[in-house]
Amino acid sequence: KIAKANFPEAPATRRVAAGECLAALLKLGTGGLLLWFVLPRQPDLPPLLTGWLGMIGIILMLHFGLFHLLSMMLRRAGCNAPHMMRAPILADSIADFWGRRWNQPFHELTIRHVFNPLRRRCGPGAALFLCFVASGLLHDLIITVPAGGGYGLPTVYFVLQGAGLLAERRLFNRGTAGARALRRAFTWLIVAGPVGLLFPPVFVERIIMPMLHAIGAH
């Protein structure tokens, strides 16, 4: 009853496919193996690499594993609670990655509280770009401020995402297979290429590494 009070009703079908449940458990288990089996057996890895592998393990467990299982539980209870991560590896554009596949609850909040109010004042293009700026500032607050260094780098990362999204609209025609392949390559160049700006070394060293030690993963 509590869940139904906080979430809108789901469509009539409440079934969760066995394959979806297995996929969520697989992601959860893969993250756990990486954290508590692989990393403890590789003590000589460079700290930065260890930290990145640890972050991947944590994201697999939480964002892709546990939150997926929670989504299924809520849907079984009749709630409209789609998984927050919708196969981002399949994204074929920057707009697809950030708009439909990665962290949907955050995307919906940004649209509601940043994009919609700004669109009326400065138009959709500028409002969209400012959404990425706002996201960058928020990530600076939760990443670089606790780390005590690397200030502004997450904001630069999200500014690049906004610029890349606006650029792909001009550069690529969705009508041809060749253009789709180029757009996909461009997507991962922009999304994954500068990810070190989002999680700068000082954050990995001062926040992630102590966390891994605390949970017995290194």
Boundaries of domain holding 160: 90-202
For residues 107 and 18, membership in a common domain is answered with no
**How does pLDDT run across 39-88, given as a tens digit for each residue?**
999 999 999 999 999 999 999 999 999 999 999 999 888 888 888 999 99
Residues 162, 133 contacting (CB under 8 angstroms): yes
Domain final residue, candidates 85, 108, 130: 85
Residue 73 and residue 176 in one domain:
no
CA separation for the pair 62, 55 (Å, rounded)? 10
Contacts of 116 (CB under 8 A, 6+ apart): 127
My answer on whether 25 and 75 are in the same domain is yes
Residue pointed to by tokens 């990145």 = 52
First to last CA, the chain: 41
Instruction: Evaluate whether residue 216 is within a structural domain.
Output: no
Does 151 lie in the same domain as 135?
Answer: yes
Q: Distance between CA atoms of 168 and 196, rounded to whole angstroms?
A: 22
Tell me the per-residue pLDDT of 126-177, one tens digit each, with 9 for 90 and over: 999 999 999 999 999 999 999 999 999 999 999 999 999 999 988 886 666 6
Kindly report the pTM of this predicted structure. Answer: 0.88
In which residue are the tokens 């994204």 written?
91
Q: Are residues 169 and 122 in the same domain?
A: yes
Same domain flag for 164 and 178:
yes
**Residues 9 and 76 placed together within one structural domain of the fold:** yes
At residue 19, the pLDDT reads: 87
Distance CA 197, CA 78 (A): 40
Which three-class secondary structure state does DSSP give residue 147?
A: helix
The verdict on residue 120 lying in a domain is yes
Q: Is residue 21 part of a domain?
A: yes
pLDDT at 10: 45
Question: Same structural domain for residues 54 and 81?
Answer: yes
The packing angle between helices 153-171 and 177-192, to 10°, is: 170
CA 203 to chain centre: 17
Q: How many CB atoms lie within 10 A of CB 11?
A: 8
Q: How many domains does the chain contain in total?
A: 2
- Same domain, residue pair 31 and 101: no
Residue 213 lies in a domain: no
Indicate whether 103 and 166 sit together in one domain.
Answer: yes
When the pLDDT of each residue in the chain is averaged and rounded to a whole number, the result is: 90
96 and 198 both lie in a single domain: yes
Helix/strand/coil for 67: helix
